[in-house]
Amino acid sequence: MSKRKAQEAPVVSSSEEDESSGAESDAADDSDDDGREGELGEEEAAAAAGAAAVIAKTKVEGEERSAKEPALPKNLEMRDHGKRVIVILENAALETVKTNKGFQLLNAEDHRGVHKKLKREPAGSRPDICHLELMALLDSPLNKAGLLQVFISTKKNVLIEVNPKIRLPRTYKRFAGLMVQLLHKLKIRASEGPQWLLRVVKNPVTRHLPTRCQKYGMSCVGALVDAHEFVPSLPQDEPVVFVIGAMAHGHLDKTTTPYVQEFISVSEYPLSGAKAIDRLLGAFEKNWGIL
């Protein structure tokens, strides 16, 4: 798709009311720094335009949805009360890098030369993991019932809030284009209306969480629990927070997530983040009678 076609899809608008957290990496392929600094790569622009077309379909689907459509808490009272699961995807590899094709989402497959210049391991740049985990969350019946809220915390300490109504792009290329736009413009809006779908918000993440809620970290070294027994033991009318890693290697601990009160594991075997999410949310759906 040409640049002109990518520009013809009026999808998103930017907002400068939130703080940027230095989402770009300055070390990249040697390319001219004249007027192209804010330019997306041709492939990323095309992917973003395609993602926009998908998001346009979201259009909140007002008439077709039931009264239980996903919604975010509107005030402090709603934020602190009522059953709800809040998931934080921690240490996500979402970082833009400037190449000779413009800005792209840094990843292990396409930017090995960039990693060599930065003296970093390519295995640490796996934005596809965040994409898979987001799809597992947003596609869940728990989210469609309006009982899920999602945040993403990146390696670069950028905090992203996800609107549960968003229809996430299904392909990685479109997802990457969308993330590049978000990290540069700080907000993604629906094509029609003022509603935001993704936005960068201020750190720390605890300022966006309910005042008194249990915060659990998902880790392969945490206390082993049966999800279907663990979930009914939680307070049934209060929000609960789960922190899940979005990285390829390693696990969460008190050093990376000091606000977590307890670490748990839902399997005696190492699971991918998406599989752990399926198992955890499935237990909540069964306990709360969501089919």
Q: What confidence tens digit (pLDDT) does each residue in 33-43 have?
A: 443 334 556 65
Q: Which CATH class is domain 3-59+76-287?
A: alpha beta
Rounded to an integer, the average pLDDT of 125-149 is: 96
**Mean pLDDT lowest among 42-51, 160-169, 174-183, 188-197:** 42-51
Q: What is the pLDDT of residue 68?
A: 54
Q: Measured between alpha carbons, how far is residue 37 from residues 24, 189, 258 in Å?
A: 11, 23, 36
Which of 283, 195, 184, 268 is CA-nearest to residue 233?
A: 283
pTM of the model: 0.76
Structural domain boundaries of the chain? 3-59+76-287
Report the DSSP pairing between strands 102-105 and 148-154: unpaired
* Strand intervals (E) in the chain: 24-25, 84-92, 96-99, 102-105, 148-154, 159-162, 187-189, 196-201, 214-224, 239-245, 262-265
Average pLDDT on 265-276 reads 94
* Lookup result for tokens 């306990």: 287
Contact 15, 186 (CB under 8 A): yes
Of the two residues 8 and 278, the one the predictor is more confident about is: 278
